[in-house]
Amino acid sequence: MQLILHTGAHYTEQDRLIKSMLRNAAQFRERGIMIPGPGTYRKLVRDTLNAMHRAPAGPDAREVLLDVILDDDPADRVILSDPNFFRTAGTAVRQGRLYPDAAARMRNMSEIFPDDEVEIFLAIRNPAALLPVLHSVALEKSDTAFWGGRGPLDVKWSETLLAIRQAAPDIPITVWCNEDMPLIWSQIIREMAGVEHHEKIAGGFDLLAAIMSKEGMQRFRAYIDNHPGMSEMQKRRVISAFLDKFALEEEIEEELDMPGWTDELVEQMTDIYDEDLLTIQRIPGVTVVAP
C-alpha cells in the first residue's frame, strides 16, 4: 500500500489543501485512492506516535490504524493530512530548530508501516514569515527554549529534511514552497493523488479563488475556458498575470511582528531561504515541486 502523509507545515494552507483533495474523493476512490476525512484519524495517529516515545508500537498497530482509517474499504493509496504529524505548532520550534521531533516521528511511522510505501509531502515557508507566527503560539517563548543560543539566520529547513532522511531513509519527501502554492496548487493535488499531470480534477483553483477578487476570478475562468489547450506552464503564466492585476492585497500581504527584527534582517533571512532551497534540491530522496 502507498501511504501519503501530508505533514503541513503549519500555516501553509494545509487544511485548504486537504479540502480540495476531498472534492475528488469519490472519483479517486474508484481507482483505489482513499482520502479519509481528517477527523477519523488525526487524534488516533497522534496518540499512537506520542505513545511510541515511551514504548514501541504493538505488532498489530498497523492493522488497528487501518481498520479505523479505512473502515474495511480496500485501498492501494491512502492520503492522510495533519499539520501536527511533526508535533503541534506550539512545539514546532525549539532551540532554534524547525520541527526537531520530525525525524523520530517519521522513524516511528516507518516502523508501524514497514512493508508499505510511505511518502511525505511537505510545504515549507520562509522562516522570516513563519517564525514570528510560531513564536506567537509557542508553549515556551523564552530565548533559551525557543532560540537555544541560535539566531534567526541559523534556522534552515534543510536541517529538518536531512534529519528526517537520516532517520527514515526509505521515505521519499516531496517539498514545495508555500509562496509558490497559487501557481502549483493543481499539481500538488495530482502529485499527492499519484495521477497524471493532465488529468482533470476538482479544486485546482481553490487557493486562487481565495486570494483573487471575484471579478478577477471570473475573468480568469473565462480566459481558461476560451483557451482549453494550454499547458500547465502556460496556465501558470496566466495565473501570474491575473494575480498581478487582481490579487487581494489583504490576503497576500504578511505583517511580520517580531520585536527587534528589521527590514534588513528579513531580507537576509529571505536570501538564506532561497539558498537553502538549493541545498534541499540536492538532498537524495527529496523532490522539490517548483513553478
Q: What is the pLDDT of residue 268?
A: 98
Q: Does residue 130 lie in a domain region?
A: yes
Q: For residue 44, what are the contacts with CB-CB under 8 A and spacing of at least 6? A: 65, 68, 69
- pLDDT tens-digit profile of 161-216? 999 999 999 999 999 999 999 999 999 999 999 999 888 999 999 999 999 999 99
Quick one: cell of 174? 516531496
Residue 273 placed within a domain: yes
* Position 229 in a domain: no
The residue behind cell 501530508 is 6
From residue 121, give the alpha-carbon distance in Å to each of 68, 79, 101, 211.
22, 10, 17, 23
SS3 1: coil
pLDDT at 44: 92
Residue keyed to cell 479505512: 70
pLDDT at 173 (0 to 100)? 98
The percent of residues in the chain predicted with pLDDT above 90, rounded, is 88
Q: What is the pLDDT of residue 249?
A: 86
DSSP-derived 3-state class of residue 247: strand
Q: Give the per-residue pLDDT at 254.
A: 77
Give yes or no for residue 150 having a pLDDT over 90: yes
Kindly state whether residue 210 falls inside one of the protein's structural domains. no
pLDDT over 90 at 255, yes or no: no
**CATH number, residue 90:** 3.40.50
* Cα 280 from Cα 272, distance rounded (Å): 12
pLDDT band at 119 (very low <50, low <70, confident <90, very high): very high
Residue 106 lies in a domain: yes
Report the pLDDT value the prediction gives residue 232, as an integer from 0 to 100.
86
Select from 98, 113, 108 the least CA-distant residue to 161: 98
Domain membership of residue 30 as a residue range: 2-197+267-289
Is the pLDDT confidence value at 240 over 80? yes
**Who's near 279: CB < 8 A, 6+ residues apart?**
156, 158
247 beta partners: 212
Model confidence at 226: pLDDT above 80: yes
First to last CA, the chain: 29
pLDDT digits (tens, 9 = 90+) for 22-61: 999 999 999 999 999 999 999 999 999 999 989 999 889 9
d(CA 58, CA 260): 48
Residue 186: inside a domain? yes
Give me the pLDDT at residue 124, please.
98
pLDDT of residue 22: 96
Q: What is the pLDDT of residue 259?
A: 86
**How many structural domains comprise the chain?**
1
Query: Residue 72: pLDDT above 90?
Result: no
Could you check whether the bond before residue 210 is cis, i.e. omega within 30 degrees of 0? Answer: no
Question: Is residue 115 in a domain?
Answer: yes
- In a domain, residue 112? The reply is yes
Q: Which of 124, 167, 162 is nearest to 7 (CA)?
A: 124
| pLDDT > 80? residue 227 | yes
Distances (CA, A) of 251 to 15, 150, 211: 16, 31, 6
Q: Sign of torsion, CA 235 123 39 251? A: negative
pLDDT at 102: 97
